[in-house]
Amino acid sequence: MDVGADEFEQSLPLLQELVLGADFVGLDIEFTGLRSNLSRPQQISLFDLPSEWYLKTRHSVQQFTICQIGLSVFSSIEGESNKYVAHSCNFFLFPTTFGILDSEFSFQASSVQFLNQYGFDYNKFLKNGIPYMNEEQEKKIKHNILTGNWRVRSSLDKDQIKVVIDEVTRWLDLAEEGDWMTLPGIAGFQAFEVQLVLRQALPDIWTVLRDQGIIVKKVSKQHRWYLENTSCDRASCWKEKILLSARGFSVFFQMLVKAQKPLVGHNMMMDLLHLHEKFFRPLPESYDQFKLNIHNLFPVLIDTKNVTKDIWKELNFPRVSNLSEVYEVLNSDLNPTKNSGPVVIHASKCEKYVETKYPHEAAYDAFLCGSVLLKVAHLLLWRVHRCREVPWCPGPAWLQGPCFSPDLGSSTWSCLHGGRHARMRAEGRPFGIESDVLSSGPLDRGFSLIL
């Protein structure tokens, strides 16, 4: 299911319900670029320490932006063990352009070509992207909106605003009190901006946002005063609505944070950097501070690339790391649990991926991440019980059971059975994303495995 700015606000209640009822959430993000063309000393090296890699990559994250986020929400089906339903959604994003906010970002030619190759719709990104902002940007715009110290910028440029005002002014010259007109084709928080401009410029009109557009009504000054001081059209309440619309996807990001659900990705370090920068706060200079922040936001992170890379060493599987290849291997006859593993069905309105593969479409890759996690967990349980029937626990209990369990204060999930996994637990070392990405100490040097 694709969600853009036009559908987003109406979808929020359903999205919140899905996340709160989820067992875990698969994540994938597409960007306008990956790495800046840095001078040689600043180029990424396999010998970089995590802190060095972080400082070099931080610049790229600040330069490029997110064009699509894919989430696949996995929920166990009540009364049916070993069966899950996945709600997969693509969110097209575009930075908030409102008042003082007017972000600059770059495109990298190779990234554009790559996404074009896989059918990415740039019109949905550029024309109908959901706005978003981080906490620092929100503080600035909130102050400017509530104090009235704001100005029209690039969301609807000044010429377009002038056209709207001229159109309404011409209509007003002939209109009688009580007459109304419609301004179609203006939606989202931009509709609030147009209303704010019209109300400030014309004292004898009132505006209301409806499905068909902005309704402009001619009213007396007395009636205008009454409308301004009653119900939710009071200035303070109305400006809060503007802020809520301008925050856009950041509202849903906060829902994800509050839900505290496990977040599952594949080679997800860059995804985490962008989540921090775009929706939380600008990336700190300190790598340790970043680790602290990201684990406060999402206490449970699982990187399926690191998980599968480790178990490949103990199983007679091809050494693949690409997400699609990992998924194919786990669905092949090489996997002894192929026919006994968990069943995942696609929710209604999310059935696009039932028969067709869409590699590098964010929601599809997010679905693969969640599916790989389920299959790996089942495979490891099967090995523990040595080919006997796997005692599967419905719901999130399997994540707390013999295969995955919280470790290091719930900062990650550790695989606890067999070989290196048991040794890592005995040594107090995490497995999954923390081992190769976010650990502090000797394991930091394994960080290059994700590059």
- Same domain? For 378 and 270 the reply is yes
pLDDT attached to residue 402: 36
Residue 352's domain is classified under what CATH number?
3.30.420.10
- Same domain? For 369 and 255 the reply is yes
pLDDT attached to residue 279: 95
Q: Is residue 159 part of a domain?
A: yes
User: Which residues fall within 8 angstroms of residue 214, CB to CB, at 6 or more apart?
Assistant: 182, 183, 186, 191, 194, 195, 198, 207, 208
Q: Which of 319, 350, 382 corresponds to the end of one domain? A: 382
- Same domain? For 289 and 337 the reply is yes
Q: Is residue 388 part of a domain?
A: no
Q: Is residue 404 part of a domain?
A: no
pLDDT attached to residue 238: 65
- Same domain? For 210 and 176 the reply is yes
Locate 150 and state its tokens: 């704001």
* Local mean pLDDT, 10-residue blocks, the chain (451 residues): 85 91 94 76 77 89 92 89 90 84 84 87 88 90 71 56 85 89 76 80 86 86 82 63 82 94 93 95 94 94 88 78 88 84 85 82 93 90 66 47 34 32 32 38 29 25
Q: Is 166 exposed, middle or buried (0-12, 13-18, 19+ CB in 10 A)?
A: exposed
- Same domain? For 261 and 362 the reply is yes
Q: Which of 219, 245, 271 corresponds to the end of one domain? A: 245
Q: Is residue 112 part of a domain?
A: yes
- Same domain? For 127 and 156 the reply is no
Q: What is the pTM of this model?
A: 0.76
Residues 383-405 as b or e (16 or more Cβ within 10 Å = b): beeeeeebebbbebebbeebbbe
- Same domain? For 342 and 209 the reply is no
Q: Which of 194, 228, 245 corresponds to the end of one domain? A: 245
What CA–CA distance (Å, rounded) separates 375 from 102? 44
Could you tell me the residue range of the domain that residue 128 belongs to?
A: 2-132+248-382
* Helix, strand, coil percentages for the chain (3-state, nearest 5): 50, 15, 35
Q: Is residue 197 part of a domain?
A: yes
Q: Is residue 430 part of a domain?
A: no
φ and ψ at 350, to 5 degrees?
-125, 35
- Same domain? For 346 and 264 the reply is yes
User: Which residues fall within 8 angstroms of residue 257, CB to CB, at 6 or more apart?
Assistant: 297, 298
Q: Is residue 67 part of a domain?
A: yes
**Domain count across the chain:** 2
Is residue 217 a contact partner of residue 199, using CB atoms and an 8 Å limit? no
Q: Is residue 335 part of a domain?
A: yes
What CA–CA distance (Å, rounded) separates 317 from 308? 10
- Same domain? For 168 and 229 the reply is yes
pLDDT attached to residue 298: 95
Q: Read out DSSP for 345-393? A: EEPTT-GGGTT---TT-HHHHHHHHHHHHHHHHHHHHHHHTTTSPP---
What CA–CA distance (Å, rounded) separates 59 from 35? 8
